[in-house]
Amino acid sequence: MVISTSKDIGGRMHVVDALRGFAIVSIMLLHNIQHFSVEFSPENLPNWLEKLDEIILKGSFFVFGGKSYAIFALLFGLTFFIQLNNKEKKDEDFRFIFAWRLVLLFVFGIINSVFYSGDILIIYAVIGFLLIPVARLSDNVVLCIALFLFIQPIEMISLVQVSQNSNKVLVNSDSWSHFKGMGEYLKDESFINTVKGNLTNGKVNLLKWSNENARFLHVLSLFMFGMLTGRKHLFKKSLENNRFWLNGLIISSIVFVPLYIFQKNIDFIFARESMRHSISTIIRSWTNISFMIILVSGFVLLFQKKKWNKILSILSPMGKMSLSNYIFQSIIGATLYYGFGLGLYKYTGATYSALISILLSIIMGYFSFWWMKNNKRGPLENIWHKATWMFSSAKKAKEDIV
């Protein structure tokens, strides 16, 4: 988690911390306006508020939906490279330690899933193991693998099969149907029932939804792209890197527009639902990633400017303890919206939920600033670090991993 301004080369890369903090804030916004997966629209709201709710809901998902998780995935791969590279400089093999860290991340994911079934830590932990065999492959090979995964080969094969067989029917093409019924146990006043539902029905439904939306291959491809950004030192401040991000911003903007238009008109272009499903999944994933590149490129370029640097740097403490903040927001969100807590899902539409998310972001921002002023790592990051080296020598236990 590292990027640099001119005075942090060789140290921590603050633009990456700020970018990760940006992703945390955007994820918090989406989770809040979704009531942390409780589907419910308050009744008897004034007409102007209903319209505002719709604008905020659609606008938030247009900007951040499918992009925030992608930013996290990209930075996950970057962090892996940094940790691996730091150890290789000392002639040490980090891959086995990384595997153990993934096991620990999986445990954190289970804890987070107790409160929020939409947890991504478990998915990242499992898919992260696939980074180990490619860790020492050449840049070109890693790039080819990442590009292959990016084009969604499984959906491509499915599309070919569907085009050749007009009678072929995809199983449950309406992936959102997996989440029907979840709201009932989330509205339940029993905390135990919520936990049981999240760890069983909720977890299974999330995996099904992720599979049908081709998230798994994209997560792995983004891990690899992130690893390559680390190898190329693309987050370090330089004129060459600024040109790279500027080109990325321009090209991704040009690519995004036709992809988005095509995505929005798929129903009119293809008559067969089975074909629409596969094509929509492919195009939607490409559209999301292209917009994610716009966000990342724009963020990095703005971070280099003095005025914007002061503003965006506020997000750095949140990014430095992103694991803690990610899990804290799940605990707080469940307490605010679920039946066992305050049950705010009954009263808050997208507008009020967005305001709550802003308030929570401010509170967590202040807490992160205070904590990181007095500590080297976030609270859960510190546990993760100590557990990583619990079987190692005392000397290694004192070493920093990023």
- What are 252-273's pLDDT values in tens digits? 999 999 999 999 998 788 776 7
Confidence band, pLDDT 50/70/90 cuts, at residue 167: low
Residue 1 lies in a domain: no
Taking the C-alpha atoms of residue 313 and residue 307, their distance in angstroms, rounded to an integer, is 10
Residue 163, C-beta contacts closer than 8 angstroms, at least 6 positions apart: 275
Per-residue pLDDT at 155: 87
Q: How far is CA 56 from the centre of its chain?
A: 20
Taking the C-alpha atoms of residue 60 and residue 33, their distance in angstroms, rounded to an integer, is 9
Residue 3 lies in a domain: no
Residue 351 lies in a domain: yes
Per-residue pLDDT at 389: 85
Residue 8 lies in a domain: no
Residue 202 lies in a domain: yes
Residue 69 lies in a domain: yes
Residue 402 lies in a domain: no
Taking the C-alpha atoms of residue 324 and residue 124, their distance in angstroms, rounded to an integer, is 16
Count of the separate structural domains present in the chain: 1
pLDDT, one tens digit per residue, over 4-58 is: 333 343 346 899 999 999 999 999 999 999 999 898 888 888 999 999 999 999 9
Q: Which domain holds residue 93?
A: 14-397
Residue 150, C-beta contacts closer than 8 angstroms, at least 6 positions apart: 217, 218, 221, 286, 289
pLDDT, one tens digit per residue, over 278-321 is: 888 899 999 999 999 999 999 999 999 999 999 999 999 999 99
Cβ-based neighbour number of residue 61 at 10 Å: 16
pLDDT, one tens digit per residue, over 311-327 is: 999 999 999 999 999 99
pLDDT, one tens digit per residue, over 86-142 is: 888 888 888 899 999 999 999 999 999 999 999 999 999 999 999 999 999 999 999
Residue 23 lies in a domain: yes
Q: Is the pLDDT of residue 2 over 60?
A: no
